[in-house]
Amino acid sequence: MENNNEEKTTKPSVLYEGHRERMRQRFLEYGMDHMQDTELLEILMFHSIPRKDTKEVAHQLVQSFGSLSGVMNAAVEDLMKISGVSYNSAVLIKLTLALSRRYAIDSHEDLPMYDTLDKIGQYVKRLYIGVNVERVYLLLFDNALRLLDCCWISDGSVNSAVPKTRVMIEKAYQKQASSVVLVHNHPHGIAVPSGDDIALTHRLDTAFDLVGIKLLEHIVVAGDKYAPILLKGTDMFRISNM
């Protein structure tokens, strides 16, 4: 039976309409990497719940199903058990998942293959054009070394990525990545790994290895130069000259 909770709510205030627009603009300007899973769900629910604060609904969904992927994979009947989630909202969630899968299938054959260190190095150098802060990215690859995603991890010292090890592993699992490459920059320095860079690399190498994901490399970028830290690429890539 359709849940009509949304139809009984009152007209949204001007203040909340302003909140919705700010959330949309934040997403359009910064993308999903700067937003929590609950915030993305909150925005999605704008389109099926026009007269209600969707923040609480988004939090209840994630709490009930454990994660964003848990929400997307839940059955329509189970989604509708959450207060505020109607049949229309449940269908919207399932449609979003279906579109994501169709996109992944449709675009998979066109994914570039990064089977040499030089190809990855040339790609990551472009990530830092005009970037004047230290920034950490995680590149996700499938078994054929096709790039599945490039995820922003943090801004600031590379040590700021240490507390986000679990987040990086979760991102790799969500994309079903077989291997990853960590990248960070030295915006005002040279492409030479520091002691902290090396220590972090070995900690992450161990962490990813424990969950069956290969940390192929940790690359330091400075200007138009880059340098690998692990040098594990010798048996995983066909190495090109840097």
Give the model's pLDDT for residue 96. Answer: 92
108 Cβ contact partners less than 8 Å away, ≥ 6 residues apart: 146
- Whether pTM > 0.85 for this model: the answer is no
Give the model's pLDDT for residue 168. Answer: 92
Give the model's pLDDT for residue 110. Answer: 62
DSSP 158: G
* Per-residue model confidence as pLDDT tens digits over 107-117: 555 667 898 99
Give the model's pLDDT for residue 7. Answer: 40
Spans of the chain, pLDDT less than 50: 1-2, 4-10, 233-235, 238-242
| CATH hierarchy code of domain 117-235 | 3.40.140.10
- CA dist 241 and 175 (Å) reads 30
Give the model's pLDDT for residue 108. Answer: 54
- CA dist 114 and 116 (Å) reads 6
Do the strands 214-222 and 179-185 form a parallel or antiparallel pair, or are they unpaired?
A: parallel
Amino acid in position 95? L
Q: Spell out the domain ranges in the chain.
A: 5-107, 117-235
Give the model's pLDDT for residue 58. Answer: 95
Nearest to 139 by CA among 51, 242, 27, 216: 216
Give the model's pLDDT for residue 163. Answer: 61
Give the model's pLDDT for residue 238. Answer: 43
